[in-house]
Amino acid sequence: MKKINNVNVIFNYNTIFMKKSILPPIQTQLSSTFSRSFHSSPTPHSPFKPSSISLSQNTTHNTNNATTKKDDEIPSGPTQKMNLFTAINNAMDIALKSDPKSVVCGEDVGFGGVFRCSVDLRSKHGAHRVFNTPLCEQGIIGFAIGMAAMGCTPIAEIQFADYIFPAFDQIVNEAAKYRYRAGGQFNVGGLTIRTPYGAVGHGGLYHSQSPEAYFCHTPGLKVVVPTSPIQAKGLLLASIRDPNPVLFFEPKWLYRSAVEEVPIEDYMIPLGKARIVREGEDITVVGWGAQMNVLAQACQRAEEKLGIKCELIDLRTLAPWDVETVENSVKKTGRLLISHEAPKTGGFAAEIASTIQERCFLHLESPIQRVCGYDTPFPLIFEKFYVPDHLKNYEAIKYSVEF
């Protein structure tokens, strides 16, 4: 166990500012706001053995401050209970109100969208600002790029991230390179592409993919992945207003199941900054999006069973990612685990692992762990077997600490 100097600094910061968080500790939030546990116990017809952990919805949380991080980025005004799609809807509503050059376009967004993210926007802001496109992803994104080049703020939706590939050329070859090839004369910074990603329990090959790595590999783009309603609203507003093209991947699993008291005012969360969700000194655990809940469960289990104190970091922005926060954490703990649903080979964990070993080589006490999806297409019937669940992560934490 290492002595942590930084933690004291953080505590002093909080004491100096005498800020009382209006939010309950993050851990309780995560565990109590999900209407069912992340991987629910199998139906009678499931071939998989039930996990030996039963995850109670109201985990009595250890109120030791060392394990929570107060969030100074969130305003303390009046809040409203919102789930993820409502928070995103709220963010788009605010964006449309505050920026007269903004539009929301995509397949079926007019009636509210297949996940209800754009409900009522058309009636509030007009059909000329919230409109359906034909079924043509390449066309939708190319069209949005053109609008952005003229200084508008298009918020284009791709109905499922699995369908983003016809638009891949437009995103990578047009949007990402626009500013560079024009020497700064033109840019498409107003462009934001929103798309639901990730496992949903039964999505199969084409409703479950996590394609973030393909876009992180393209300089010129920003890639943002929120993990909860409060984060999503702030990050989406920041993404829309960021002067660079941003891809905003929304974890579809959490659209209904994540519920929080979200501030109703206009607020933004800075891009490019990670958030330390839980502090610890034994191992740094990094993730994003829906995987954060899985990692929280794994960290909780590791603490309860083995007394391992994990430092859990939500990366939030993958491109550009907050190298400094992760590096500082690993220099403190000496161990790193990264987890994502996307296949392991070439997944974004590989980038993080590689950078950290470059910067923290002599600080590392064990090999960097990557707990990811297997190198297979996202399966249908095998989903529970495929996903990097809390038990796989727990095993990896244990392995790393005991190395």
Partner 1 sequence: MMSSKFTRLSTTASSSLRGCLGSKTNIPSITTFSRGFASKSKKEDQNAGGKIKIEFKPFEVYRCDAPENFAYTDKAELLDFFTLMSRMRRMEVVSDQLYKQKLIRGFCHLYNGQEAVAAGMEAASLKTDPVITAYRDHGWMVARGASPAETLAELMMKATGCSRGKGGSMHMFHIPSFYGGHGIVGAQTPLGAGIAFALKYRGQKEVCWTYYGDGAANQGQLFEAYNMAKLWSLPCVFVCENNHYAMGTSTGRASADLNYFERAHFIPGIKVDGMNVLAVKKAGEFVADYVRSGKGPFVMEMDTYRYVGHSMSDPGTTYRTRDEVSAIRAERDPIEKVRHLLLQNNLATEEELKQIENAARKEMDDAMEFATKSPFPDDKEVFTHIYSKDVPTRSVETPTVVS
User: Which residues here bind partner 1, judged by CB under 8 A?
Assistant: 43, 45, 47, 107-108, 110-112, 114, 132-136, 138-139, 159, 162-163, 165-166, 201-207, 343-345, 369, 372-377, 379-382, 385-386, 392, 395-396, 398-400, 402-403
Separation of CA 207 from chain center:
17
Smallest distance, Å, CB 204 to partner 1?
4
- Rounded to a whole number of angstroms, the minimum distance from the CB of residue 379 to partner 1 is 5
Nearer to partner 1, 165 or 186 (CB): 165
Catalytic status, residue 39: no
Of 190 and 203, which has the nearer Cβ to partner 1? 203
Nearer CB in complex with partner 1: 98/376: 376
> Of the residues 207, 279, 281, 303, which is catalytic?
207
Provide, rounded to whole angstroms, the least separation between the CB of residue 208 and partner 1.
Answer: 10
Q: How far is the CB of 227 from partner 1 (least distance, A)?
A: 24
* CB 21 to partner 1: min, Å: 36
Q: How far is the CB of 108 from partner 1 (least distance, A)?
A: 4
Burial category of 372 from C-beta neighbours within 10 Å (exposed 0-12, middle 13-18, buried 19 and up): buried
The question of whether 137 is a catalytic residue gets the answer yes
Question: Which lies closer to partner 1 via its Cβ, residue 78 or residue 134?
Answer: 134
Give me the catalytic one of 107, 137, 281, 303. 137
CB of 268 or CB of 372, closer to partner 1 = 372
Closest CB to partner 1 among 110 and 263?
110
Q: How far is CA 370 from CA 19, 287, 296, 384, in A?
A: 36, 10, 16, 18
Catalytic machinery residues: 137, 207
